[in-house]
């Protein structure tokens, strides 16, 4: 998705940052070493609708801000890195070589699955380091896997509504 950097894209990035932060903070389900949330659905939506440039910063900043505001300060830097890589994976795979996007295409499903798999691997690895044992990090994996599956489902449901409302055309017109 090629767009000139302008006030509209800056506002979209700020809006996406706020959306990621809010969706991460509003519904929090405790799991070992942290919490499950719907912020990753917003991150996938950002990658699909705003492109990598806006989504990469919005996902990292929004998620890190949510960790900071909810008292998980030890996770701020790892969260930033993990979420940025989620966008890089999803943003690269969701679009074909011509830059076109189709919601219910194998590329989009693969992008969602691989980016959420990265989330599980990233948080399990960091949890192992922060808490001093692989077993501690691994304890969070079932919750993280469930979080990933739920976020994929929410992403596709929300994106289907946005596609029906022709939101992509409005964003691209900006």
Fold of 7-173: Arp2/3 complex 21 kDa subunit ARPC3 (1.10.1760)
Average pLDDT over residues 12-21: 96
Q: Buried b / exposed e across 13-33, counting CB within 10 Å, b at 16+?
A: beebbebbbbbbbeebeebeb
Q: Please tell me what DSSP assigns to residue 74.
A: G
Residue 172 pLDDT greater than 80, yes or no: no
Neighbours of 92 (CB within 10 A): 14
What residue segments make up the domains of the chain, in order of their start?
7-173
Residue 169 pLDDT greater than 90, yes or no: no
Residue 138 pLDDT greater than 60, yes or no: yes
Q: What is the pLDDT of residues 80-119, one digit of tens each?
A: 999 999 999 999 999 988 888 999 999 999 999 999 999 9
CA distance 164 to 33: 38
Helix (H, G, I), strand (E, B) or coil at 132: coil
């Amino acid at each position: 998705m090629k767009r000139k950097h302008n006030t509209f894209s800056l506002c979209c990035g700020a809006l996406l940052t706020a959306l990621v932060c809010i969706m991460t903070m509003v519904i929090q389900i405790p799991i070992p070493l942290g919490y499950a949330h719907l912020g990753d659905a917003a991150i996938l939506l950002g990658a699909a609708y705003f492109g990598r440039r806006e989504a990469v910063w919005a996902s990292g900043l929004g998620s890190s801000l949510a960790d900071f505001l909810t008292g998980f300060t030890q996770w701020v830097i790892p969260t930033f890195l993990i979420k940025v890589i989620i966008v890089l994976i999803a943003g690269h795979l969701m679009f074909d070589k011509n830059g076109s996007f189709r919601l219910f295409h194998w590329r989009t499903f693969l992008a969602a699955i691989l980016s959420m798999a990265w989330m599980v691997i990233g948080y399990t690895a960091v949890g192992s380091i922060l808490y001093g044992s692989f077993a501690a990090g691994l304890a969070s994996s079932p919750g993280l896997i469930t979080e990933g599956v739920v976020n994929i489902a929410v992403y596709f449901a929300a994106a289907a509504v946005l596609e029906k409302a022709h939101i992509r055309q409005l964003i691209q017109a900006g």
